[in-house]
């Protein structure tokens, strides 16, 4: 499965990797809070959201690097597209929230 070279597969990986990064960030930094309390803190301090999204995009960078090194360019392109979309969301939160 990891040997696939497919744009759709890359998009799926590109959207899932930051979610896993977000879960890891929560477990490392905010494990004392319940998930509900964590989201309440995020809603009160919206400036944290863009920073957290940016950190979560490191997971995409890792997956992207793996697929580039394996020369799976279509999958890497999908991951890159998803990363760009996440980055636009982060910028939107930074500028408009």
Q: What is the pLDDT of residues 8-18, one digit of tens each?
A: 999 999 999 99
Q: Categorize the per-residue pLDDT at 47 as very low, low, confident or very high, splitting at 50, 70 and 90.
A: confident
**Phi-psi map region of 34: left, alpha, beta (phi>0 left; psi -120 to 50 alpha):** beta
Averaged pLDDT, 41-64: 84
Q: pLDDT, tens digit, for every residue of 72-87?
A: 999 999 999 999 998 8
What is the pLDDT confidence band of residue 1, given thresholds at 50, 70 and 90? low
Q: Find tokens 């997956």 and name the residue.
A: 63
**pLDDT for the residue 96:** 77
Residues 6+ apart with CB under 8 A from 24: 59
CB 63 within 8 A of CB 79: yes
29 pLDDT higher than 90 = no
Query: Above 70 in pLDDT, residue 2?
Result: no
């Amino acid at each position: 499965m990891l040997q696939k070279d497919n744009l759709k597969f890359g998009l799926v990986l590109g959207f899932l990797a930051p979610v896993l990064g977000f879960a890891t960030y929560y477990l490392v930094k905010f494990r004392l809070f319940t998930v509900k309390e964590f989201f309440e803190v995020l809603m009160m301090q919206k400036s944290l959201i863009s920073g957290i999204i940016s950190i979560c995009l490191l997971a995409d960078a890792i997956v992207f690097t793996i697929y580039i090194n394996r020369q799976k360019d279509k999958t890497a392109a999908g991951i890159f597209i998803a990363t760009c979309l996440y980055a636009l969301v982060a910028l939107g939160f930074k500028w408009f929230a």
